Chains A and B, each alone.
Chain A
């Protein structure tokens, strides 16, 4: 409840902004083809909910699968970077260079290679989320106090024991910071992937809506997208509370 109160000012501000938006559309009699009022967006969502829900589910599944792949790959890579100086020297510069490749340019290629399935979208989400997770996790392991490592070495701990007793748990707080950033990108990643081509998903729905000048539905999708991101963010904060209990 206390946590909720922290967000109260921003929720209030958001409500006020929506009211102003509603009033402007009303007073200036703006065409809903250009800027629909919030109330119109809400009733459009209610009207299209049954059609929208499968699209939402598709996008959500792509996002979650991509995020999970990114976590597995990211953690694995970070551990490799930590354990082997050779791997670090070889891989780290390449990882950074890989971030200069525009994902939006990769999307059509992935579509050509993997077709209209959900696979290209999952890959895009993975690519987008992989980097922040890897860097945050590697950083977190780096930050574990040298005193603790020295202590474990003096106790004749093996390299693996040091990894599991100190470096992995010590990196968890950083990992969750990285995961929060990745989650913020992830939904957008899935939608970009769908934009390029597919059968179902919010990206496709939005494109169809835009092509048929159903501006109100574009707004519906935008709001759903941001709600999904907030939901994901909240889930990660909750996971962090469970897995990082010593921080509370």
Chain B
């Protein structure tokens, strides 16, 4: 079976500044793939290209075996910082993608309400984002992303700003959401443990201009538990990834 997404020899330069060296990667159906790399290495640029708001310099992107030019609307993209619309309630935020697609207000509201209930956020349905904790805001943003495009998510460090405990809850919650919808996920992080806990495969990126240094498979069983992180397998993997990241800094 062909992969859900395959990126072939993608490069990107801003003027004379090369940001993405030569990126080739694949994400299979329902696979969770993480990208880790030093900050400022161009990970977010890669996502901007996939989300269709930036154009690649060379290379091609193949989605479900079709070469795709206009990528807008083809992924559920979640930007790095909390991007909930402050002037919309939780429900209105979650239904945003459907409204843009032209789904009627009542249908969109129904679906958003149902989704919030399913993932235990119904108590906040009429709140404005500013009244929610950071962890809750990210969950709402995730549900918005899922409702817009459940089959493929691009998540750019969604838990980067959360404290360790909130982050662990949110990570397991995310796995639950992805499992429910059978989503393929491409996930940016610079937290090695996070990458191990969530992913099926991990790509390690170099410093700018970003290139893929290594591809690592995570063979921990699913469903994932926090205790998996302390197994010898996971610890060895963590050491390996840490060493790789140290190298990229040179």
A interface residue numbers (CB < 8 A to B): 145, 147-148, 150-157, 161, 165-166, 169-170, 172, 244-246
Contacts and interface: CB of A to CB of B under 8 A. Distances in A.
A148 B83 contact: yes
**Would you list the 8 A-B pairs with minimal beta carbon distance, nearest first?**
A156-B73, A154-B51, A156-B72, A246-B128, A169-B87, A154-B77, A147-B83, A147-B79
A155 B80 contact: no
Interface residues of B, number: 26
Given A155-B73, A156-B100, A161-B100, A150 B87 contact: no
Interface in B83-100: 83, 85-88, 96-97, 99-100
B128 A154 contact: no
Contact of B86 (A150, A157, A246): A246
**Residue of A150, A165, A170 most packed against chain B (CB within 10 A):** A150
B79 A150 contact: yes
A154 B155 CA distance: 13
B48 interface: yes
Interface string B48-63: 1001110000000000
B186 to A, nearest CB: 13
Contacts of A151: 77-79, 83
B162 interface: no
B159 interface: no
B87 A155 contact: no
Contacts of A148: 83, 85
Interface string B33-77: 000000000000000100111000000000000000000110101
Contacts of A150: 48, 51, 53, 79, 83
